[in-house]
Amino acid sequence: MTRRGPGELETEVLAALWSHDGPATAAEVQQLVDAGLAYTTVLTILTRLHEKGVLTREKRGRSFVFAPVEDEAGLAARQMRELLDTQPDRARVLARFVSDLSAADETMLRRLFRGTGRT
């Protein structure tokens, strides 16, 4: 079995939950992600994501079901905000971010500011 990089399991688990129709148990996530992955590993990842506030957890019978708090775009936006919040010079970080955008991304950002872009 190939060793995964940092955060890859969390990404795989989130992708599985986003593709699933509604909340899922650890066993269901295990089947969606990788049948060779141990149940306890999947449960640990789900618990960590819940503790980070990325998943909700609800008791159903003898198990818990998990569901993402946000969709993929919402999670990425939250992570970007959290990273920005750690920076002492927000203006400089934002200026660098905007200056490094592709022309297409810059156009999309302008549309979003005008309220004519998609969200």
CA quadruple 54, 55, 56, 62: dihedral sign:
negative
pTM: 0.74
> What pLDDT sits at residue 6?
61
- Flag whether pLDDT at 4 surpasses 60: yes
- Flag whether pLDDT at 107 surpasses 70: yes
- Flag whether pLDDT at 1 surpasses 80: no
Q: How many CB atoms lie within 10 A of CB 45?
A: 22
- How does pLDDT run across 67-105, given as a tens digit for each residue? 999 998 998 898 899 999 999 999 999 999 989 999 999
